[in-house]
Amino acid sequence: MNKATILFFALLLISTSAFAQKTLKNVFIANEGNFGAGNATITAFDFDAKTSTDGVFFNANGVALGDVAQSLIEIDDQLFIVVNNSQKIVITNPDTFQQTGQITLGAGASPREIIPIGNGKTYITDLFGNHILVADLDSKSVLSDTIKVGRNPDQMLKVGNHVFVANNGFGADSTIFKIDIATHTVVDTIEVSRGPAGMVLDREGTLWVVCTGYSGDYDDDFNLIPGTSRPGGVHGINPESGEVMASIDVASAGSDLAINESNDDLYINSGGIRVVNLKTLSTVADTLIKGNFYGFNYDPVNQLFFTADAKSFSSAGEITYYSMDGTLINSFASGIIPGDIHFSYEITSSIEDNHNTIVENFELFQNYPNPFNPTTEISFSLPSASNARLTIFNTAGQKIAELINENLNAGNHSVTFNASSISSGLYFYRLETNLGIITKKMMIVK
């Protein structure tokens, strides 16, 4: 992987800048409920108040959510709830939980996960249909496009102009498909261990996937046939070439994967929460958090682990959270079979156009947000009055836009850059003044 490629993908991980503060507001739990019973619920945990409420969708709307709440995601300030056995995506306001819309998939569909792909479109994995559905957010409808993938597609990850799909197959598949968003076609097939599921991107641009393994085949008397089980693993993949660059064997694992960028640790659910260190490419011998968890997630802002215990699988479950060293902090009740854990953050910006503030340094700050679509804020400080020219360039060195070219007073300045007419990719923004020249990189992701 060349340096430009590493920078390209590393930028995808940037979510805050020196001017932004990211605060955990709520933790939402998708409780599957009993299959066929239609008793799926959403539990909301107010992180500041440390209070939890189950059934928030029913409380707000007076109707049941549906059958098997599979996963959660926020898109354009709305909470999208994937309800697998009800063949729908329910859209709600994440503050009031009032339903604001619905994507109905039709009889026979089995949605597993939904992710935005840009331009008002989403991809939805159809778990038993073995394909990807393309949906439009404006019309809240499924388009005619479908993408044939492997067996039982599970989780997805968008990297630049491609989406990677883990074909889990409940352990019977071992492929990851790379899809070109522009054409909705599969452009690469990557072989890994059995049961690929959760995926994350590290700060150097490597895509990591956890594979659950395969329990094996059984005879008519439900006895395991020797030699048919297969181990799982953790694999590092170059998303550009599709090359598997690193592999770590794991006997078996859950489908969740999380990363701690500060110390290059991956977290997997394998007999408890275990640590896989990316520097040594090894699994830490001792289990960080012991337990039998149905799912988990890691909050990097507060450095907390949230784990889901399904208990009896027929009554209320429990969510427990721990500090980074595995110390128990607190727990709260959830609905039946808590699965996906989603963190809802509040991002506040302290960027101000204060031209009277006395500043000591000539600085160009990282644009915020980054990556962005379609607007971002570029801020800089001038310790003395100067002519300032702020321009945008592509990787070929061609000037795309000139945002500022005028005399400015000393102080803090900022300008909004609208990239609605520019394609996705890596760009440079350069500030030229009497005090010097500074260049930084930004990423447009549509």
Residue 308 burial by Cβ neighbours in a 10 Å radius (0-12, 13-18, 19+): buried
Which of 255, 253, 257 minimizes the C-alpha distance to 266?
Answer: 257
Torsion of CA 220, 224, 229, 231, to 10 degrees: 140
Q: Is-cis flag, bond preceding 338, omega within 30? A: no
Domain residue ranges in the chain: 23-347, 351-444
**Taking residues 199-210, what's their average pLDDT?**
91
Write the pLDDT tens digit of every residue in 260-272. Answer: 977 889 999 998 9
Least confident of 40-44, 148-152, 399-403: 399-403
* pLDDT for position 17: 35
Kindly report the CATH number that applies to the domain delimited by 351-444: 2.60.40.1930
**Taking residues 364-375, what's their average pLDDT?**
90
Instruction: Say how many Å lie between the first and final Cα of the chain, rounded.
Output: 23
- pLDDT surpasses 70 at 353: no
Domain pair 23-347 / 351-444, same fold: no
* pLDDT for position 88: 97
**Taking residues 267-292, what's their average pLDDT?**
89
Q: For the chain, what is the mean pLDDT? A: 89
Tokens of 139: 């019309």
* pLDDT for position 13: 37
CA gap 415, 377 in Å, rounded: 6
Write the pLDDT tens digit of every residue in 51-84. Answer: 999 999 999 999 999 999 999 999 988 999 999 9
**Taking residues 205-230, what's their average pLDDT?**
87
Residue 21's pLDDT band (cuts 50, 70, 90): low
Whether 21 and 350 have beta carbons less than 8 Å apart is answered as: yes
Q: Give the per-residue SS3 of the chain.
A: CCHHHHHHHHHHHCCCCCCEEEEEEEEEEEECCCCCCCCCEEEEEECCCCEEEECHHHHHHCCCCCCCEEEEEEECCEEEEEEHHHCEEEEECCCCCCEEEEEECCCCCCEEEEEEEECCEEEEEECCCCEEEEEECCCCEEEEEEEECCCCEEEEEEECCEEEEEECHHHCCCEEEEEECCCCEEEEEEECCCCEEEEEECCCCCEEEEECCECCCECCCCCECCCCCECEEEEEECCCCCCEEEEEEECCCCCCEEEECCCCEEEEECCEEEEEECCCCEECCCCCEECCCCEEEEECCCCEEEEEECCCCCCEEEEEEEECCCCEEEEEEEEECEEEEEEEEEEEECCCCCCCCCCCCCEECCCECCCECCEEEEEEEECCCEEEEEEEEECCCCEEEEEEEEEECCEEEEEEEECCCCCCEEEEEEEEECCEEEEEEEEECC
Write the pLDDT tens digit of every residue in 90-104. Answer: 999 999 999 999 999
Of residues 309 and 355, more confidently modeled = 309
Superfamily the domain 23-347 falls into: YVTN repeat-like/Quinoprotein amine dehydrogenase (2.130.10.10)
CA gap 9, 14 in Å, rounded: 10
Q: What radius of gyration do the chain's Cα atoms show?
A: 23
* pLDDT for position 299: 94
Phi, psi (rounded to 5 degrees) for 315: -130, -175
Q: Which residue has the tokens 């102009």?
A: 161
* pLDDT for position 18: 37
